[in-house]
């Protein structure tokens, strides 16, 4: 059975910006550009019936699309760094979506995610990387930032048993509600005066 998780996709132009951060760190296994994503909730290995229930519940989520941008980079693992990541601006709508997914997973009997939600895109897995090398790598790229982009949907991804980092398969797509800006809303409801004559 594949491992499942929910995620936000990274647009191609943002993924290309992230790809420019690759290289210059001994012991790094760089994630392929097409596998960049922001994990919302790791679900894990589930049976077919549970997977169907998860899809059914995720399909009922009704939340608006929202804007994000990538900002800053860092590493996980402290004195034994195991991965390098790019940060994500903290959009309230993203946290609300993640919390709803977490609640529905728990209602289906899945254990709570033990990790605090820290939105990021994993850039590389590290094996045997020296702390000094990681610090040097991060110090030269700390001001990384991308232009804002819209998250129009979230996805259910699967991965086969591997050491992490893909390849991932999109199992289901869940569109977010398109938000009409206030100016468009005004025009949509307005009737030109001449048409009343």
Measured CA to CA, the distance from residue 123 to residue 10 in angstroms comes to 12
Helices 92-107 and 48-58: angle between axes, nearest 10 degrees: 140
Active site residues: 37, 120
Q: Which SS3 state, helix, strand or coil, does residue 138 take?
A: helix
Instruction: Give residue 46's Cα distance to chain centre.
Output: 21
- What are the angstrom distances between the C-alpha of 146 and each of 8, 58, 68, 99? 16, 29, 9, 25
């Amino acid at each position: 059975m594949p491992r499942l998780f929910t995620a936000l996709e990274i647009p191609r132009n943002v993924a290309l910006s992230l790809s420019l951060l690759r290289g210059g760190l001994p012991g790094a296994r760089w994630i392929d550009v097409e596998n960049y994503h922001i994990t919302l909730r790791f679900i894990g290995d589930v049976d077919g019936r549970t997977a169907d229930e998860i899809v059914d519940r995720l399909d009922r989520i009704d939340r608006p699309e929202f804007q994000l941008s990538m900002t800053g980079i860092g590493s996980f693992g402290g004195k034994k760094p195991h991965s390098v990541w790019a940060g994500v601006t903290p959009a309230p709508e993203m946290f609300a979506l993640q919390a709803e997914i977490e609640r529905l997973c728990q209602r289906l009997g899945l254990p709570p995610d033990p990790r605090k939600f820290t939105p990021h895109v994993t850039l590389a897995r590290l094996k045997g990387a020296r702390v000094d090398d990681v610090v040097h790598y991060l110090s030269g790229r700390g001001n990384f930032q991308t232009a804002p982009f819209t998250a129009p949907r979230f996805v259910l991804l699967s991965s086969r048993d591997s050491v992490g980092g893909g390849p991932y398969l999109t199992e289901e797509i869940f569109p977010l509600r398109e938000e009409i800006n206030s100016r468009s809303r005004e025009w949509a409801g307005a009737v030109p005066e001449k048409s009343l004559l």
